[in-house]
Structure 1
Amino acid sequence: MIEEQTPKQTTLGWLRESATFKLIFIGLLTLLLLIPSAFIRDLINERANTQNETIKEVSDSWSGSQIIKGPVLVIPYKKGINMTDTARQQATENLYILPDNLHIKAGLTTQILHRGIFDVAVYNTQVKVSGNFAKLDLSSLGININQLILNKARFEFSVSDLKGLKSNPIIKTTQPTLSAEPSFDSVFGNGLQAAVDLSSISNNEVPFDYTLDLKGSEGLSFLQLGKTTDVQVNGNWSSPSFDGNHLPDERKIDTGGFSASWRMMYYNRPFPQQWAGAEKKLDNDKKLEDATFGVKLRLPVDQYQKTMRTSKYAIFIILLTFISLFLTEVIRKQPIHMFNYILIGAAMVIYYTLLLSFSEQVGYNFAYLIASASTIALISVFISSLLKNGKAAVLFAFILAVFYAFIFVIIQLEDLALMVGSIALFIIIAILMYFSRKINWDKN
Structure 2
Amino acid sequence: MITEETPKHSFLIWLKESATFKLIFIGILVLLLLIPSSLIHELITERSQRQEEVIREVSDSWSAKQVIKGPVLVIPYKKQFKLTDTTTRTTSGNIYVLPESLNIKAGLTTQILHRGIFDVAVYNTHIKVNGGFGHLNFENLGITPDQLLLNQARLEFGVGDLKGLKSDPVIKTTAGEKLSVNPDFDSELLFTNGLQAKLNLSTGLPDQLPFAYDLDLKGSEDLYFLQLGKSTTVEAEGNWANPSFEGSNLPDERKVDSSGFKAGWHLLNYNRQLPQQWIGDGSKHSNKLESNSFGVKLRLPVDQYQKTMRTSKYAVLIILLTFISLFLTEVIRKQAIHVFNYILIGTAMVIYYTLLLSFSEQVGYNAAYLIASISTIALISVFISSLLKNGKAALLFAFILTVFYTFIFVIIQLEDLALMVGSIALFMIIAILMYFSRKINWDKQ
* 1:146 CA drift (Å): 1.4
Per-residue deviation, residues 363-407 of structure 1 (Å, max 9, x unmatched): 111001000000000000000111111111111011101111111
Letter in 1 for 2:315: A
Per-residue deviation, residues 32-61 of structure 1 (Å, max 9, x unmatched): 011001111111111111110000000000
The aligned residue for residue 346 of structure 2 is 345
Letter in 1 for 2:414: L
The aligned residue for residue 407 of structure 1 is 408
CA distance in 2, matches of 1:8, 1:393: 35
Structural mapping, 1:133-152, within 5 Å: 133-152=133-152
The aligned residue for residue 423 of structure 1 is 424
CA distance in 2, matches of 1:359, 1:201: 65
Whether 1:157 aligns to 2:157 is yes
- Residues 271, 281 of structure 1: 8 Å contact kept: no
TM-score normalised by length of structure 1: 0.97
Mark the CA change 1:195 to 1:385 in structure 2 (over 3 Å): closer, same or farther: same
CA distance in 2, matches of 1:85, 1:164: 56
Letter in 1 for 2:405: Y
CA distance in 2, matches of 1:222, 1:264: 12
Whether 1:320 aligns to 2:325 is no
Letter in 2 for 1:252: K
The aligned residue for residue 118 of structure 2 is 118
Q: Secondary structure at the match of 2:4?
A: coil
The aligned residue for residue 88 of structure 1 is 88
Per-residue deviation, residues 97-138 of structure 1 (Å, max 9, x unmatched): 000000000000000000000000000001111000012132
Whether 1:29 aligns to 2:29 is yes
The aligned residue for residue 301 of structure 2 is 300
* 1:438 CA drift (Å): 2.3
- Residues 17, 443 of structure 1: 8 Å contact kept: no
Per-residue deviation, residues 182-237 of structure 1 (Å, max 9, x unmatched): 11122114410000112345132100000110000011001100000000000000
Moved more, 6-15 or 259-268: 6-15
CA distance in 2, matches of 1:30, 1:3: 39
Whether 1:184 aligns to 2:220 is no
Whether 1:218 aligns to 2:221 is yes
The aligned residue for residue 208 of structure 2 is 205
The aligned residue for residue 16 of structure 1 is 16
Unaligned runs of 5+ in 2: none
CA distance in 2, matches of 1:39, 1:124: 40
The aligned residue for residue 53 of structure 2 is 53
Q: Secondary structure at the match of 1:21?
A: helix
Moved more, 143-152 or 287-296: 287-296
CA distance in 1, matches of 2:67, 2:80: 37
TM-score normalised by length of structure 2: 0.96
* 1:443 CA drift (Å): 4.1
Letter in 1 for 2:276: Q
CA distance in 1, matches of 2:442, 2:300: 52
Per-residue deviation, residues 288-319 of structure 1 (Å, max 9, x unmatched): 45411000000102111111111111001110
* 1:274 CA drift (Å): 0.6
Q: Name the count of aligned residue pairs.
A: 442
- Residues 105, 127 of structure 2: 8 Å contact kept: yes
CA distance in 2, matches of 1:120, 1:383: 44
Unaligned runs of 5+ in 1: none
Structural mapping, 1:389-400, within 5 Å: 389-400=390-401
The aligned residue for residue 366 of structure 2 is 365
Whether 1:332 aligns to 2:323 is no
- Residues 18, 441 of structure 1: 8 Å contact kept: no
Q: Secondary structure at the match of 2:59?
A: helix
Q: Secondary structure at the match of 1:295?
A: strand
* 1:279 CA drift (Å): 5.1
The aligned residue for residue 246 of structure 1 is 249
Whether 1:194 aligns to 2:217 is no
Letter in 2 for 1:28: I
Q: Secondary structure at the match of 1:199?
A: coil
CA distance in 2, matches of 1:34, 1:85: 84
* 1:277 CA drift (Å): 2.4
The aligned residue for residue 239 of structure 2 is 236
* 1:278 CA drift (Å): 2.7
Letter in 2 for 1:101: S
Mark the CA change 1:438 to 1:269 in structure 2 (over 3 Å): closer, same or farther: same
Mark the CA change 1:236 to 1:31 in structure 2 (over 3 Å): closer, same or farther: same
CA distance in 1, matches of 2:337, 2:125: 65
* 1:85 CA drift (Å): 6.3
Mark the CA change 1:83 to 1:340 in structure 2 (over 3 Å): closer, same or farther: farther
CA distance in 1, matches of 2:444, 2:309: 40
CA distance in 2, matches of 1:379, 1:288: 59
* 1:142 CA drift (Å): 0.9
The aligned residue for residue 39 of structure 2 is 39
CA distance in 2, matches of 1:188, 1:229: 18
- Residues 67, 223 of structure 1: 8 Å contact kept: yes
CA distance in 2, matches of 1:349, 1:117: 24
- Residues 411, 422 of structure 2: 8 Å contact kept: yes
* 1:270 CA drift (Å): 2.4
* 1:11 CA drift (Å): 1.5
Letter in 2 for 1:264: L
Moved more, 220-229 or 16-25: 16-25
CA distance in 1, matches of 2:159, 2:285: 13
The aligned residue for residue 276 of structure 2 is 273
The aligned residue for residue 259 of structure 1 is 262
